[in-house]
Amino acid sequence: MKRIGAILSVLMLTFSASAQELNCQVSVIADPTLEVTSVEIEILKQLEETVYNFMNTRKWTNDNFEVEERINCQLQFQINKIPAPNSFSGFLQVQSSRPGFNSSYNTVLFNFQDDDLAFTYSRGTALNFSENQFRDNLTSMLAFYAYYIIGMDYDSFSLNGGTKYFSKAQEVVTLAQTTSAPGWKSNEAGKRNRYWLVDNILHELFSPLRKCNFEYHRKGIDQLYEDKEAGRKNIYSALNGLIKVVSTRPNSLNLLNFIQAKTNELKSLYEDAEVREKTNIVNLLKRLDPANSSKYQAILE
């Protein structure tokens, strides 16, 4: 299904041109305490450029995008260890956003820290992704997040619109089961990895979360320009639907990731709301994410 542009109505004509799907900014940062050689500095600089080109020049869907329709996202590599030549590990911060209707405001769709960053890369290495083969850990990680970002974006414009791309992300996970690299398997410590991120989003138990993603953005964020009060009511209604997820999968990765990505936004949106409206949203957020109740309490201030 073609991605529905934020500045147009749900029904759109098919575009003929031209741009790729992602407008991805990339940064590679070495921990200041890490002893990095001049050669390694050059490798990391080239890595930044290579990843940028890989994410932004590859065609990830069969849909046509205009330049202004591209999905804004960021990848920040934090390199904490260089255990061997051309081997790097640390964490990867992934974020994507999309504009609100008729507005310059951008709402965060996805904000996730992947603590299982581990890969090899040497100067002159080309990143070649194959949908039917695991080639290397770095390329598979990038493809996974490209598909996941696209899935989240499509879900925010049409109900379950991102299923095709979440399924592609899951295929990347399946092919990566042959590797010893971290982040791909169900039996790793904790459930904050790529396996669970996409497994959850495709599970029927999380269908209320996907419905929330759609209603929060199409009926909430996109409504704010015309009627802020109605937009806030729809946002509350969308978030209230997550009670179903809490009752079956409390403290789940995807649920908490979605809510916490919206914390600052909600504080700003409810800044001029009546006390009763503020209290209702705070109580709801505390019920959805009780461990972070103090953060949501700030909305009342």
Alpha helices per DSSP H over 108-240: 137-157, 163-175, 194-202, 207-214, 228-240
pLDDT of residue 6: 37
pLDDT tens digits for range 10-27: 333 333 345 799 999 999
Q: Is the pLDDT of residue 95 over 90?
A: yes
pLDDT at 5 over 50: no
Percent of all residues in the chain with a pLDDT value above 70, rounded to a whole number = 94
pLDDT digits (tens, 9 = 90+) for 264-301: 999 999 999 999 999 999 999 999 999 999 999 999 98
154, 162 contact by CB (below 8 A) = yes
**Whole-angstrom distance, CA of residue 138 vs CA of residue 17:** 30
State the Cα–Cα distance between residues 34 and 286, nearest whole angstrom: 39
Cβ atoms < 10 Å from Cβ of 102: 12
Looking at the predicted structure, is the pLDDT value of residue 4 above 80? Answer: no
Q: How confident is the model at residue 133 (pLDDT cuts 50, 70, 90)?
A: very high
d(CA 49, CA 28): 9
Give residue-wise pLDDT tens across range 227-249. 999 999 999 999 999 999 999 99
Residues 161-192: tens digit of each pLDDT? 999 999 999 999 999 999 999 999 999 988 89
- Interval 115-130 mean pLDDT: 95
* DSSP bridge pairs for 110: 96
Q: How does pLDDT run across 30-51, given as a tens digit for each residue?
A: 999 999 999 999 999 999 999 9
Statement: residue 8 has pLDDT above 70: no
User: Which residues does residue 65 pair with via DSSP β-bridges, in sequence order?
Assistant: 19
Checking if the pLDDT of 120 tops 50, the result is yes
Residue 301 CA to residue 284 CA, distance in Å, equals 16
How many other β-carbons are positioned within 10 Å of the β-carbon of residue 91? 15
What radius of gyration do the chain's Cα atoms show? 20
Task: Give CB contacts under 8 A, 24+ apart, made by 99-104.
Answer: 99/6, 99/7, 100/6, 100/217, 100/221, 100/222, 100/224, 100/225, 101/6, 101/7, 101/221, 101/222, 101/223, 101/225, 102/7, 102/225, 102/226, 103/224, 103/225
What are the sequence ranges of the domains in the chain? 22-202, 209-300
Q: Specify whether the CB–CB gap between 253 and 209 falls below 8 A.
A: no
What is the mean pLDDT of the segment spanning 188-202?
94
| pLDDT computed for residue 104 by the predictor | 86
Predicted confidence (pLDDT) at residue 7 exceeds the cutoff of 80 = no
pLDDT of residue 205: 96
